[in-house]
Structure 1
Amino acid sequence: MIKGRSGLYILVFLFLLLLAGCQSSKGETEKEKSELVISAAASLQKALTEIEADYEEENEDISLIFNYGGSGSLQHQIQNGAPVDLFISAAIEPFENLLDDGLIEEKAYSNLLGNELVLIAGGKTDLEGVENLDSVSKIAIGSPDSVPAGKYAKRSLEALGLWAMIEDKLIFTKDVTQVLTYVETGNVEAGLVYSTDAKSSSKVKVIDTLPNDTHEEIIYPAGVISSSKEKEKAKKFYAYLQSDRSLEIFKKYGFKGMK
């Protein structure tokens, strides 16, 4: 048995030594945890949040960090050197631009998901179909210059002969999620969003589905960024996104699998 003041000093010393060892061990564990940055279209947020929880539970050494936004804006961020490991676009064009620049890893990309474009309105709006859009005063769509849903919307409205008729009523947004918010809050009477966005909200109703032959097929390609510092772990998560478990989650939120 340790007695006296000297014994107390020894006990305190041993306690501090043990505490320092625990902190060191904790620090080493934290250092071993890898962060993967995924830039993804805003319309994927709810599905990816669920997938994130599943993946991190199965892979305790990985921390997933998501950067959501319009696909065009995300493309420019990657071209300007943003530290991204994986990109999921809501359209082919921004993704192909990165492919052309050599910024997507060869043999580590594919068409992941599909979607549809729908016309939505708030509960108090008496809108019958896309052909009646001129009857409302404000319509929100994503900015056609940077938001794929906005680009699809513009091309579809042009094909239907409606663009010139309603152009002065259009409110352009930074991404498709903002369109949904504007309709939910009554800031606009109607909006064009993906069917997945409409499905996620109880505050809007789907008025119409825009004909698929009036715009390009809505495809979400995904790929690993060639400059990723965690390339193998990024490829592992990329493969997980294509697993049956992930596709079940995507389909629950209204996406179509491309398998």
Structure 2
Amino acid sequence: MKSNKKIIIAAIAILVVVGVGLWATGSLETTSTNLDGQEINLAAAASLKNAYDNDLIPMFEEKYPGVKVTPTYASSGDLQSQIENGLEADVFMSAANKQMDALADEGLIDNSTNVQFLENKVVLIVPKDSSSNISSFNDLKNVKGHIAIGDPESVPAGQYAKEALTNLGIWDDVKPKLSLGTDVTAVLNQVAQGSAECGIVYSTDAKSTDEVKVVCEAPEDALKTPVIYPVAVLKDSKDPDAAKAFVEFLQTKEAKDIFVKYGFTIHE
């Protein structure tokens, strides 16, 4: 009897050691759920498009070959409205807390998955061949042409721009010159194409093209609200296991390194 007990104990010990080894090497799946055939509808701020399309979605689909990720990009305010009106979304990543908080207050977010994830910077840009004398946000008072910003009613980048211009005491001066974009990509394009003399976008957007150049960052005392990108699973997700796996994947080192490559900072 004692001999049998020793054999059983030894067998259990071997299984534990093998299991730990598999887990450490990544040979053992971290989730017992089979995600094959599941789909993830991603609703993400327009400023995230390049990072997702070029790198992160292909990386995730390679890691989970049976899962398909379908992205929808727009301003965070537009995405909020679409989700409120029935957009089939599994994961939402906003360029500001305002839109995420609104959906959470309406009971549409799985709050256990809500993560304060990325940070960005707000910058002033001009066309790459611009000869203007703009060197600071305060110089916008003297601009003769159009100043492109996102629509503050729905675009977080526009809300940050309005906050900075208001805190600097120049909002009333620049308001008549504003050309409002439907999202930050539209603002970037206005400046790149020269239809606006300058514009206010995220640092990551300015880095995505060589058609514009950065004049300066928004002064710290002009922007009281940090530019935070939260991400969460929608409560009514049709494939919540895959959606949660996607949000967990975003928080791995390999995914964070991609965001950093595109100019984002990881929120700690």
Q: Same fold (TM over 0.5)?
A: yes
Shift of the alpha carbon at 1:130? 1.4
Separation (CA, whole Å) in 1 of partners of 2:65 and 2:90: 18
Residue type matched to 2:257 in 1? E
8 Å contact 2:39–2:242 — kept in the other structure? no
Percent identity over paired residues: 41
Give the equivalent residue in structure 2 for 1:192: 200
Which structure would you say has the larger Rg? 1
| Residue of structure 1 aligned with 2:154, choices 121, 143, 146 | 146
Residue matched to 1:48: 52
**Aligned equivalent of 2:106:** 101
Structure 2: runs of 5+ lacking an equivalent: 1-35
Structure 2 counterpart of 1:190, one-letter code: C
- SS state at 1:113 partner: strand
Task: Give secondary structure in 1 for the equivalent of 2:61.
Answer: helix
2:256 is the counterpart of 1:247:
yes
Unmatched runs of 5 consecutive residues or more in structure 1: 1-31
Residue 125 of structure 1, CA deviation:
3.7
SS at match of 1:112: strand
Q: SS state of the match for residue 66, structure 1? A: strand
Q: Which whole-Å deviations, capped at 9, do the CAs of 1:33-92 have from their partners, x for residues lacking one?
A: 322100000001111111011111121101110000010110111111111000000000
Matched with 1:68 is: 73
* Number of the residue aligned with 1:120: 125
What is the alpha-carbon root mean square deviation over aligned residues?
1.0
* Equivalent position of 1:221 in the other structure: 230
8 A contact 1:120–1:205 mirrored in 2 = yes
- The number of residues matched between the two structures is 228
Q: Is the 8 A contact 1:125 1:189 kept in 2?
A: no
Correspondence for 1:257: 266
Q: Secondary structure at the match of 1:104?
A: coil
Equivalent residues in 2 for 1:167-178, closer than 5 Å: 167-178=175-186
Q: Does 1:37 align with 2:41?
A: yes
Q: Which amino acid counterpart does residue 255 of structure 1 have in structure 2?
A: F
Q: CA deviation at 1:208?
A: 1.1
Secondary structure in 1 matching 2:114: strand
Q: Which residue of 2 aligns with 1:14?
A: none
1:206 counterpart SS class: strand
SS across alignment from 2:205: helix
Shift of residue 162 of structure 1? Answer: 1.1
Moved more, 125-134 or 44-53: 125-134
SS of 1:67's equivalent? strand
Contact 2:43 2:89 (8 Å CA) reproduced: yes
SS of alignment partner, residue 87 of structure 1: strand
For 2:256, the aligned partner's letter is L
Question: More strand per residue: 1 or 2?
Answer: 1
- Indicate the residue corresponding to 1:236 in structure 2: 245
1:101 CA drift (Å) = 0.8
In structure 2, how many angstroms separate the alpha carbons of the residues matched to 1:35 and 1:192? 35
TM norm structure 2: 0.83
Match of 2:214 among 206, 211, 214: 206
